[in-house]
Amino acid sequence: MNQHASHKPDYEKELRRAGVRITRPRKVILRILTETDDHPDAMEIFQRASAVDSSISLSTVYRTMKLLEEMGAIHRHAFEGGRARFEQADGDHHDHLIDIDTGDVIEFHSNRIEELQEEIARALGYDIVHHRLELYGRKRRRT
């Protein structure tokens, strides 16, 4: 079990390679994504983007997120409660611990758990395509 590492992907390069136009709204949204380390939802990204260029629409945020998701550049998470939240897809797989009071997300990874999941699926006659492990918790008060 350990916390995660770093990142600094060049989305524009990736997008160009994918034959996609680098527009002003996209530039803004991409910068927001690279500069952020939390797990914002579309509305938060939209607001941060609006601050830079108030003409950017929520639709464009959604469209851009979908585009990046399809390219595998970001991950979309449907944690409990309203909106989907996004994060950059920097190689390493991890699961999430969500602070139910603040909404904060802490990433973690456990090889042991992954192994056990595989074992279980195998025993049931399945291959895991993907999985979802989310812990919803509350900060422990010092005793």
Partner DNA sequence: GTTTTTATTGCAAACGATTTGCAATTGCAT
Partner DNA sequence: ATGCAATTGCAAATCGTTTGCAATAAAAAC
**Residue numbers at the binding site for its own copies (CB under 8 A):** 1, 78, 80, 97, 99-100, 106, 108, 110, 112-113, 116-117, 119-140
Provide the minimum distance between the beta carbon of 59 and DNA in the complex, in angstroms, as a whole number.
3
Out of 5, 10, 13, 16, which residue is the one contacting DNA (CB under 7 A)? Answer: 16
Token digits of residue 114: 């992954």
Q: Is 21 in the site for DNA (CB under 7 A)?
A: yes
Question: Max CA-CA distance within the chain?
Answer: 56
- Yes or no: say if 31 and 12 are a contact pair by the CB < 8 Å rule: no
Cα Rg for the chain, rounded, in angstroms?
Answer: 17
Distance CA 133, CA 111 (A): 13
Q: Which of residues 37-96 bind DNA (CB under 7 A)?
A: 41-43, 53, 55-60, 62-66, 78, 82-84
Pick the closest to residue 73 from 89, 92, 91, 86 (CA basis). Answer: 89
Q: Is 13 in the site for DNA (CB under 7 A)?
A: no
Residues that bind DNA (CB under 7 A): 16, 20-26, 41-43, 53, 55-60, 62-66, 78, 82-84
